[in-house]
Structure 1
């Protein structure tokens, strides 16, 4: 295939990008820096570009000097590993010196700097991530297989797949994540076999790294085929020992692109088991709260009334009810119309505050103490049951008090 050019890519011709490249070239001359990774890969695939990474022959201190000389902000984000973040026009650019691995332990590597583009490409994970482009948009393929893999929508390891994985066990999950996002058809057979062979090393990874990578995978437009492969190969069970069948996951993925909701459909349904699984993944408190909010009686879009939804929102909050409605939609996808109406209700309904308090109770002659709390609790239950009426609060409170005294 002919070598493509990215000369017309909007991110490459942007003023901020040109300033960063000009700063590096002023310090190190032509071909001192090339774009690498996602920006090149996504451009060649016709996908949007969010992050721009640059590889350079300059060592980190020289990169810092070059950026400062050009009046650009330079942040030493990882000098030991050769990484400096440049900021131009409020946009970050991660700049990393060409490297080769000296030692690896499956989680992190000790690196040495190099000036050899091929040597740098040889330590990267996949051919599609080892493509480079210079400031003029000329594309370079040091592994000789990156462009072919782009065309075939194939995710294949650079060099020996097993060795790449042993350098960093997270590459097992990255293999599946990248296939879900960029692959087509069955995963690369050699890569899949290596992932299965090396899967025992997944236990060496921190839970935070696993959950972050897993959620990225589940955010893919259609992760179902990839997750099915993970289930058949035993990888999914190693990550989520509590996971059951994936029918619920298929249903959820069909109605929601939210990776956390998709994850919830792979986790057990009881509060205790869910809590154990979620804590095993070291999810954030916010993520844990959302997963816990999904526990409870199933909502049925066929019978669920507006007043019931308002009562749930008052008791559980908008996020929890919105999530539970998505779960209900996964069970009854044909009732999208009812789901849409209830979701709009959740989003737009102004949640009221309890309209009475201790002052109103005291005005009825009730002494402060347990009786006050009991009366307010009874009022709240009655108020919710009648769908949050906006008037008659004092009269309702008095009637409840009379009933208690009678």
Structure 2
């Protein structure tokens, strides 16, 4: 079988890079896999039996900028006009402890392919002939589709515990609704090993999984396998149904998925518990804030029948309001809440504390309190113009001269 024609193979500078390495290269990994699946290729990876120092010297001689991004593990990055290309020397594992590996360089293509995780990721292709090399049945598994570890699933997971998360991520992206029994059993057995990994690595894989087009099946398989017991201590008791309802709404309404929105769906609906989980996962401050906004807005929506998506958007953001509707609105209110946000941006409140002081209000805490009262009324009225505000202020008995 040969690699189909693909635009990424025509990237500016790629042919010069290959020539500089005397054609001792192959395309590997996701670029080959995704081309065969007719998916967009974002990252181009190349493998070579040439040693890293030799690769660097050859690229510099060809006036190609190169950065030793992972030199200890044999990886350098060539900077081409159309984007970076990673070049890694063939390797074999010398030892592993489930978190990191000690490697030795190799000249054996099959030996290098054997250290990858799944059969569909072990494919490689010659840049000129486009011949595909498949040592472990990856092509058949792509047809399945079937997400299968290379060799023993338990051994592959023992080499790198993060492969548990990667299995379910690839199941979400490619596996449709077919689970490999050996892989599932191995992931279930080794699930507690996830607790030995950095929380950042686990969170990164979880968010990537949730970002896939349809993670419902994979999430439910993770729930069945007890995987979340070692990631999120207190998950929503109805997480499977929550993520299913959310994804169904996204697909029906053609709303692009976001990982944070989907994470909120499976988190406990308690702001403090969810915040503790977000911090434990080492999520960014921005991500932590986004989770808190959506949960808090969800409580507002449930407690106040007059709450609407524009008031939520004003207090938070349009994205947060949209997510709140998708996550928490009843079916009868959902479309109306989303339509309120279409082509709408929150206005700026056209009144300041200084304006109130100019009207005679004594500086102090009363200014902020009065301003908040007026702003709340302004929001409830649908953000009217300054004329309404002037009339409202004139009609109220604010202690302007107190």
Q: Which residue of the partner structure matches residue 299 of structure 1?
A: 301
Question: Of the candidates 246, 250, 262, which is equivalent to residue 252 of structure 1?
Answer: 246
The 3-state SS of whatever aligns with 2:170 is helix
Partner deviation per Cα, 1:59-85 (whole Å, 9 max, x = no partner): 111111121122211011010000101
Name which of 177, 200, 203 aligns with 2:169. 177
Segment drifting more, 165-174 vs 383-392:
383-392
Unpaired stretches in structure 1, ≥5 consecutive residues: none
Distance in 1 (CA, whole Å) between partners of 2:232 and 2:171 is: 20
**1:142: which partner in 2?**
135
Cα displacement (A) at 1:269: 0.3
Q: CA deviation at 1:168?
A: 0.6
Please give the alpha-carbon distance, in whole angstroms, between the structure 2 residues aligned to 1:323 and 1:221.
Answer: 17
- Bigger shift: 375-384 or 35-44? 375-384
Contact 1:11 1:17 in 2 (8 A): no
Q: 1:35 to 1:313 in 2, by over 3 A?
A: same
Name the CA distance, whole Å, in 1 between partners of 2:361 and 2:353. Answer: 12
CA contact (8 A) 2:67 2:76 kept: yes
Q: Which moved more, 1:378-387 or 1:130-139?
A: 378-387
Instruction: Pick from 71, 74, 77 the counterpart of residue 79 of structure 1.
Output: 71
Specify the alignment match of 2:320 in structure 1: 320
SS in 1 for 2:67: strand
Decide which moves more: 251-260 or 396-405: 396-405
- Rate the CA distance shift 1:304–1:59 in 2: closer, same or farther, 3 A: farther
Q: Give the TM-score normalised by structure 2.
A: 0.90
Contact map agreement 1:357 1:376 (CA 8 A) in 2:
yes
Deviations 1:251-304 (A, max 9, x none): 01212322211111110001111112212211111111111011232637xx76
Distance apart, 1:376 and its partner CA: 2.6
The answer to whether structure 1 residue 387 and structure 2 residue 387 are counterparts is no
Deviations 1:162-181 (A, max 9, x none): 11111110001111111111
Determine which of 23, 42, 66 is the counterpart of 2:20: 23
Larger deviation, residues 315-324 vs 150-159: 315-324
What secondary structure does 1:71 align onto? coil
TM-score (norm 1): 0.89
* Counterpart in the other structure of 2:344: 348
Aligned positions of 1:127-138 closer than 5 A: 127-136=119-128, 137-138=130-131
Picking from 119, 123, 141, the partner of 2:115 is 123
- Looking at structure 1, the residues matched to 222 and 377 of structure 2 have their Cα atoms a distance apart, in angstroms, of 50
1:240 and 1:277 in contact (8 A); partners too: yes
Is the 8 Å Cα contact of residues 21 and 33 (structure 1) preserved in structure 2? yes
Please tell me the root mean square deviation across aligned C-alpha atoms, in Å: 2.3
* Local SS of the residue matching 1:388: coil
In structure 2, do the counterparts of structure 1 residues 287 and 127 end up closer, same or farther at CA, with 3 Å as the change threshold?
Answer: same
CA 20–120 in structure 1, closer or farther in 2 if over 3 Å, else same: same
The alpha-carbon deviation at position 96 of structure 1 amounts to 0.5
* Number of residue pairs aligned between Structure 1 and Structure 2: 389
Q: Distance in 2 between matches of 1:309 and 1:228?
A: 30
- The answer for the alignment partner of 1:368 in structure 2 is 363
Residue of structure 1 in register with 2:184 after alignment? 192
